Amino acid sequence: MSEITSEDVERIELLEIVSSSKTGLKLLSKEQLQRLYKLVENKDYSNNTQTEKSKKDLLEKINNRLYDIVDGRIIL
């Protein structure tokens, strides 16, 4: 069994915030969203197709939220 790294802990903490409510992505700052995107993107879920699909969906939602923030559509 693999060891839990500090990146795993950080990813889990951010994912808990996102999954805690329907508006979880809105609770994260731009920097936290960018970090979560990187952490999720680098995590290998290829052994489970459903998890891989969920990963892609989450990355799309994070990307959309970042676009809204950067494009100025959302006031923080």
Contacts of 57-62 with C-beta under 8 Å, sequence gap 24+, read 58/18, 61/25, 62/25, 62/33, 62/36, 62/37
Whether the model pTM is above 0.95: no
The model's confidence at residue 75, banded by pLDDT at 50, 70 and 90, is: low
pLDDT, tens digit, 9 for 90 and up, residues 19-48: 988 888 999 999 999 999 999 999 988 899
Compute the distance between CA of residue 33 and CA of residue 54 in angstroms, rounded to an integer: 17
